[in-house]
Amino acid sequence: MTAQAQTIPLTPPGAATHFFARLVVAATLPLILFGGSVTSLDAGMAVDGWLKVQSSQGERLLWLYPLEDWFRNIGQFVEHSHRMVGTLVGLFAIGAVLSAFIEGASVAARRATLIALIAVCVQGAVGGFRVLENSESLAFLHGALGQAVFGAIVAAAVISSPRWMNAEPTRSAEALGLRRTASNAVTSVFLMIVAGAWLRHTDEPVALAVHLMVLLYTAASVFALVHKLRKATSGAHAEWFSVCGKRIVQLFGLQVVLGIFAFAAVFLWYGPSATGVHDSILPTLHVLGGALLLGQCVASRLWVGKLLQQGEAA
């Protein structure tokens, strides 16, 4: 009986934490889509109020907003859906933190999930004050900060994964340079996203010029990282670095294509103010593409730091 019981695999510490962390990532993707749609459709004030909102039935708590108002028009639908999905992200983030401390996850996992939860709460507060103040500046901050929050959420999912906990680092003479290149790629992608948020919220020609200039710098940074990841494929973690590099190239290419179509949609086809889902989908997908690219660069930077230590290979 004892021998048989010993053969039953136990759930590794941190498994529930990683499950919740992945749920946070999964729920954040539609949150970004709804948030991008809010900006594209200029629906930021479609639902008046924050925790308490105005409806056809009077003042209601956010979570008791009447269905007939929720689905009344496209603006109210995307704005209230954005808030409700944000609530779901917050609940999953709380679940990740609680499970990390209850089940005895690693110190790094507990710290990462806690940082992610704090970031989600700050982002939600900025979004709420944006509505209460009817502030375009806070709308821009909410859009740009949201991408940084997604990076923190991805980091929590990576650090809480079983693969991370079981990974064994190796020594490499290129470790320090690769870390710097990966950090530079993360920074440049985020700057490109901030410039894009500036453009989306102002439609100013100077914002477009800055966005394009940062795009060129980002392209150089990203491909420098991919080049170094490919050079690092001679070591013990060759396959994993190769996968990271391929994902970055694919996501960057997709983001450029989406950016071209988004530019055409906003400046050539429909104009800056979208009137329906059909003319808001391309700019919104471009926002999501930026988040995915940033998330992959953040994950790559974390794995480089985890798997490689500076020094000559044995």
Q: Is residue 8 predicted with pLDDT exceeding 70?
A: no
Rounded to a whole number of angstroms, the CA Rg of the chain reads 21
pLDDT value for 231: 80
User: In the chain, what percentage of residues exceed pLDDT 90?
Assistant: 62
Examine residue 202 and state whether it is found in any structural domain, yes or no.
yes
Q: What is the mean pLDDT of residues 250-276?
A: 82
User: Residue 189 burial (CB < 10 Å; 0-12/13-18/19+)?
Assistant: buried
Instruction: Spell out the residues 6+ positions from residue 35 whose beta carbon is closer than 8 angstroms to its own.
Output: 82, 142, 143, 146, 287
Q: What is the mean pLDDT of residues 230-248?
A: 80
Q: Do 160 and 175 have their domain in common?
A: no
pLDDT value for 274: 59
Q: Do 218 and 124 have their domain in common?
A: no
Q: Do 139 and 269 have their domain in common?
A: no
Task: Using the 3D structure, point to which of 145, 166, 187 is the last residue of a domain.
Answer: 166
Examine residue 287 and state whether it is found in any structural domain, yes or no.
yes
Q: Do 132 and 181 have their domain in common?
A: no
Task: Using the 3D structure, point to which of 138, 166, 194 is the last residue of a domain.
Answer: 166
pLDDT category, 272, cuts 50, 70, 90?
low
Q: Do 46 and 118 have their domain in common?
A: yes
Task: Using the 3D structure, point to which of 113, 137, 166 is the last residue of a domain.
Answer: 166
Query: Residue 292 belongs to a domain with what CATH number?
Result: 1.20.120
Q: Is residue 275 predicted with pLDDT exceeding 70?
A: no
Q: Do 20 and 153 have their domain in common?
A: yes
User: Residue 91 burial (CB < 10 Å; 0-12/13-18/19+)?
Assistant: middle
Q: Do 153 and 174 have their domain in common?
A: no
- Of 154, 310, 160, nearest in space to 232 by CA: 310
Query: What's the structural domain count of the chain?
Result: 2
Phi and psi torsions of 50, nearest 5°:
-125, -95
- Give the domain extent around 134: 12-166
Reported as a single tens digit per residue, the pLDDT across 118-142 is 999 999 999 999 999 989 899 999 9
Q: Do 26 and 150 have their domain in common?
A: yes
Q: Is residue 13 predicted with pLDDT exceeding 60?
A: yes
Q: Do 243 and 137 have their domain in common?
A: no
Q: Do 121 and 75 have their domain in common?
A: yes
Average pLDDT, the chain: 88
pLDDT value for 90: 97
